[in-house]
Amino acid sequence: LKYLVEKGGPEPHEYEEFNFIVKTLDAENLHEFREVINPILNINSLIGRSYVKPFGYPGDFYLIDHIYSNHVNADKKYRNWDIYYQNQEGTMAVRNRKDYFLDQCLRLSLKKQGVKKVLILGSGPATDVNEFLNMYGGNDITFDLVDYDQNAIDYSSAKNKEFEKLISYHKVNVLRFEPSRRYDLIWSAGLFDYFREKHFVYLLRKYINYVAEGGELIIGNFSTENPSKILMEVVSEWYLNYRSREDLLKIAGDSGLLNRNVFVEAEALGVNLFLNVQ
């Protein structure tokens, strides 16, 4: 491990070795492990940022934006660590999640005439919205973005300044947000990973009432099959509520939604699942 840190991180042929070190760590050795990798546990590396949590929570908007853009620090001290991080299944699944959202918006733009409205719960950097509007301008979709972090709103607002007429921002906890309209698509990429089941059920029951006729609500959730789970927890202290397809369908049932068209999809790696309620 010291060798990997001293030389600036693992090369691709050393990923398996580093992953083995992480997966076989026990509680007694965790402190020593963090001491050894301490030189990279800062905001200059993606692993470090997820550990330091400069905004007070894991998976902040800045980290997610860097994952979306496949960012790699040019500094040789961090470069290989970032390349390693960007090539883990959990990270790749986050990028696939963005592509899934883009596909949903494109489908919406094609299936319905006139103005379409999309609500995003836990909007983060809104990189996905930015990419969609850059690729498919003039599609008559407007976006309402809800996030509790003013830093995230400021960041996404600056990023999407050219589309400000199409985007509204709401700084509020999704548990307390009261929409004033119905939406053709209500989307949440990863926020529900942090909710216990009772809050998940509460929010499903709440927001299904704001889905327009013919619309749908889609909730992303990391699968129990996430190969990056141990890496996230051991190295970054990044904990999620992992759920299987069966778990998500049970939650839909507990929310009283099985009288609707309910199904679960996944991105290509099967790491991110999507509960669809129509």
Q: How far is CA 243 from CA 36, 79, 216, 270, in A?
A: 33, 32, 21, 12
pLDDT surpassing 80 at residue 138: no
Angle at 194 between CA 62 and CA 257, to 5 degrees: 125
pLDDT surpassing 90 at residue 247: yes
* Residue 50 pLDDT grade (very low, low, confident, very high; cuts 50, 70, 90): very high
Q: In b/e form, how buried is each residue of 249-268, taking b as 16+ CB within 10 angstroms? A: bebbeebebeeeebebebbe
* Residue 28 pLDDT grade (very low, low, confident, very high; cuts 50, 70, 90): confident
Q: What share of the chain is helix, strand, coil (3-state, %, to 5)?
A: 50, 15, 35
Residue 112's pLDDT is what? 80
User: 277 and 261 in contact (C-beta within 8 Å)?
Assistant: yes
Angle at 111 between CA 109 and CA 112, to 5 degrees: 75
pLDDT in tens, 164-217: 999 999 999 999 999 999 999 999 999 999 999 999 999 999 999 999 999 999
CA distance 175 to 259: 24
10 Å CB burial of residue 234 (0-12, 13-18, 19+) is middle
The pair of three-digit structure tokens given for residue 249, joined into one six-digit string: 């369908």
Residue 26's pLDDT is what? 87
Average pLDDT over residues 265-273: 98
Q: Considering the entire predicted model, what is its pTM?
A: 0.95
Q: Which residues contact 237 (CB under 8 A, 6 or more apart)?
A: 51, 58
Residue 139's pLDDT is what? 76
Domains of the chain: 2-87 (no CATH), 91-277 (3.40.50.150)
pLDDT surpassing 90 at residue 111: no
Q: What is the DSSP letter of 169?
A: E
